[in-house]
Chains A and B, each alone.
Chain A
Amino acid sequence: MSLKLEAGWYKNAIIYQVHVRSFYDSNGDGIGDFAGLAQRLDYVQELGANAIWLMPFFPSPLRDDGYDISDYRSVHPSYGTLEDFKNFLSIAHGRGIRVIVEMVLNHTSDQHPWFQESRSSSDNPKRDWYVWSDTDSKYRATRIIFLDTEMSNWAWDPISKSYYWHRFFSHQPDLNYDNPAVREEMWNVMKFWLEMGVDGFRLDAVPYLIEREGTNCENLPETHAIIRELRKRVDEQFPGAMILAEANQWPADLRPYFGNGDEFHMAFHFPLMPRMFMGLRLEDRKPITEILQQTPEIPESCQWCLFLRNHDELTLEMVTDIERDYMYDIYAKDKVMRLNLGIRRRLAPLLDNDRRRVELMNGMLMSLPGTPIIYYGDEIGMGDNVYLGDRNGVRTPMQWSGGWNGGFSAADPERLYSPPILNPVYGYPAVNVLSQKRTAHSLLSWMQHIIEIRRSTPVFGSGSISFLHPANHRVLAYVRQLGKEIILIVNNLSSAAQSVELDLRRFKGNILIEMFGRNIFPRISEVPYLLTMGPYQFYWFRLRQI
């Protein structure tokens, strides 16, 4: 079953990011699966999310949590079968939930048959599907992304006795996108899933598709040409499908990925996320407003994707050295929390489990321009386990109840793909869906409410934004507007009560209606509009000319 064709659906979506493996285990083998995910779609629907982003679920040696794909046209046996996937897709669509599939274009696993063929001899027809070299001295201006594990972007292959190019782990050789056969095959892979009914792709690591000597091998014009070609095919053959760019870049470098509305529909706004955390701890809106003011306009049909946390570390690549040091000192004092250039922690622990701060951050996530993504478990305040390797500490089993394995699986705990969180603060006995469903004031209930409000108007998804600049720098205030619908958002980033005067003269005569309680606030006049705000409080006001 496919959902109704609806152009621009992604602009008003609430995306729920989930890993099949981590969500729900239906067959008691300790690993989440598609049948389990399908069973729990009611939960996603009740939360208010109307799109799911699935992390890689393809066959893989799982040396990088599925980002090392060894077969693009199947499902990892641990997660079920292709039929299970189709069934899940059908149920999701039946509940009005669109499905976005993660597609790793840039590289494969070194166990992928393509690479096995490619490395077998220099005469093999697949030889040119990867980037080979006799030396490791090419493309020297290219940075190494996984600084903690990789010394070079080249790895020596003892079988073919030459070097192959990899921007990520050395077991993930980069595909050679200069080869038309590779481009065609990857399109065929995408077509395979689109024909099945998926609604879009999150395309992983897109800036790195092409390599050129003398450049940093990122964001090259040739890469954009490939994206445009993909987009053209998507639009022609699967109108309504969406492609989302994962490109961890500065806003100015990200802008070209939208092209003239002919490349990506959406792109993650990576630089904004750390600045939201920074602004909160500095109690200063400056980092947030500055980065948004530096963010270029994007075509009408395009959209930013906003997130607070995801399956990766809280990346600090797109901040200055001073900002990075500050973030480390504030959010990752213990060095075990740091990974590469980032912090591997979940939302609630990052915010000291302070409910007011969690709400404020989600309030900003839902009201700033873009489509919000909620990382599974953050809606109930799940914790992390920084002692698990790599980023596995933020990929622990979903906590459904206080029962056996947190309700995630009937398997013996030793069989679980990952130990669940068990500590007294964040462990599943304390933090779980079941208990939060029973409490009207739980974080989960609150999240449902804010999502409901967010979805009550298209202003948040499609409206313009203009910042107010009140003299009180602890208050972040902006106006979202779409046609005649106007919403004023005021956020107190401070741990203390604040008063703020807002210049709202251009809206003179309007009354303010607070969107959560629907209470009426005084009419706007010529004089500055005075608001007093509690610690970390935020207001969403609908302006009405009555």
Chain B
Amino acid sequence: MAEETLLNDDFLRQLINVGEVDIVVGLSTHNHARTIGPVIAAIQAGILKCFPRERVAIINADGGSQDGTTELVERASIDDVWRESKVFALRTLHSISVRYDRTPDPGKALQTILAATDLLRAKTCVLISPESTTIEPDWLQRLARPVYDENFDLVCPIYARQRSDGALMRNLLYPMTRSIYGCRIREPYGSEFAISGRLVTDFLAKGISNDDWGRMGPEIAVTVTAIVGKYRVCQAFLGAKAHPGRGTQDVVGVMRRTVGALFSSMDSNFGMWSVVSGSELPPTFGKPPEIEPEGSRINRKRLLDMFAAGVAQLEPVLRSILSPSMLGELQRIAALGINEFEYPAELWTRTVFEFVASYHKSIINRDHIIQALVPLYRGRSLTFLTENRNGNGENIETREEALCADFERLKPYLLKIWADGK
């Protein structure tokens, strides 16, 4: 059932005008005028090219933009007021915006889009990031077709990534999701994904958006809900991932929204994941796109310093989270020089699992636990970058598989400490 309270009267009026649709394209924005132009153009082109006959609406949930973002979105509408230069479209395209709040809230934004999807009885909802400036019109088709034509419920993206990209995804979110929930979804926290109408309805009915993990990381919440609910999940290759905010990202905030949500999801789904062993590859559509390799400019020394400083400064906190042997091992590697430093896969896996267990037991404030994981993640990232510095795609893939194998192999350890004391 839709969360009607999210929908103010003006938005509701707009939805009445949109009427029943086949596909909703959702955009969650906040001051994205700088990037939204090419994104909305690609979406419109994708609709006209790939879904010319379908009833499609673009729904923008905005968190109080002051830079004209919503006006840019609304301009993508195609109506019957004839202008000679306008693109050809078989039918009307509504592109509407709603301000759900004065401040951004990804959970509320997603909930608004999904509630609109539910009300409009759309068969498919495609979520697109307003920062995905590398988007191609075909992305829409790649994401939506498996749901629209083949009755999948969730289509997660696989981006073409540079060697140094996606450290958090590759070292934590992917292997963790895979080992816990038994599904090899490469991007459980994708900026783009497609979801079926029935999964939307279920997601809203369960009120997951109101749970801690649903509020924290709505995208992960959708993925976990789909897997736990045994919905049909698949993946689709997209192109290169855009990074408009690279270097300015708040790592702690990102980890709260992603890792925190993932950890949190495990509380209520223990019955499901505790009996899962191994993992399965979901159907994957398309083929990996090729991208030009870019040189990476990572300051490895700085990463090591941040790791070492974190281990030292957060020792009391880490002591409450980790086992003594684990802490000791981290202190040992923190003392290594840049050329000798290595944060091995197995050690990292055990570290993460001990954090998960502590998070579950709320040994200390959960936010602090995630915060304490940040410097350790930086240490693991350093090893990841060092290992992959000269590696090709195949080498990187092999290492990722090895890490995932560790996460799956050591899952009994997690189950043990989940139930035990520290």
Interface residues of B (CB under 8 A from A): 13-14, 16-17, 19-20, 52-53, 55, 78-82, 88-92, 94
Contacts and interface: CB of A to CB of B under 8 A. Distances in A.
7 contacts: A282-B53, A282-B90, A285-B80, A289-B82, A472-B16, A473-B80, A498-B19
Contacts of B94: 473
6 tightest Cβ-Cβ pairs between the two chains A and B: A471-B17, A473-B92, A293-B82, A289-B80, A286-B80, A284-B91
B88 A294 contact: no
Interface in A271-297: 278, 282-287, 289-290, 293-294
Given A469-B80, A498-B19, A326 B53 contact: yes
Contact of B90 (A285, A322, A470, A499): A322
A320 B117 CA distance: 31
Contacts of A326: 53, 90
Contact of B14 (A283, A284, A289, A471): A471
Contact of B82 (A294, A323, A470): A294
A231 interface: no
Given A326-B53, A471-B14, A494-B19, A290 B90 contact: no
Nearest to B84: A294
Contacts of A19: none
B77 to A, nearest CB: 10
Contacts of B78: 286
Contacts of A282: 53, 90-91
B17 A473 contact: yes
A435 B100 CA distance: 59
A527 to B, nearest CB: 13
Contacts of B52: 322
Contacts of A283: 19, 55
Most buried by A among B14, B52, B81, B90: B90
Most buried by A among B19, B20, B89: B19
Interface string A487-521: 00000001010110100000000000000000000
Nearest to B52: A322
Given A320-B88, A322-B52, A322-B90, A286 B79 contact: yes
Contacts of A287: 90-91
B403 to A, nearest CB: 48
A474 interface: yes
A467 B94 CA distance: 19
A469 B90 contact: no
Nearest to B78: A286
Most buried by B among A286, A293, A294, A467: A286
Contact of A323 (B14, B16, B55, B90): B90
Contacts of B20: 496
Contacts of A472: 16-17, 19
Contacts of A289: 80, 82
A72 B364 CA distance: 102
A321 B82 CA distance: 20
Given A285-B80, A469-B79, A473-B79, A499 B16 contact: yes
A104 to B, nearest CB: 35
Interface in A434-474: 467, 469-474
A383 to B, nearest CB: 27
Nearest to B20: A496
A286 B88 CA distance: 11
Interface in A252-307: 278, 282-287, 289-290, 293-294
Contacts of B89: 286
A283 B91 CA distance: 9
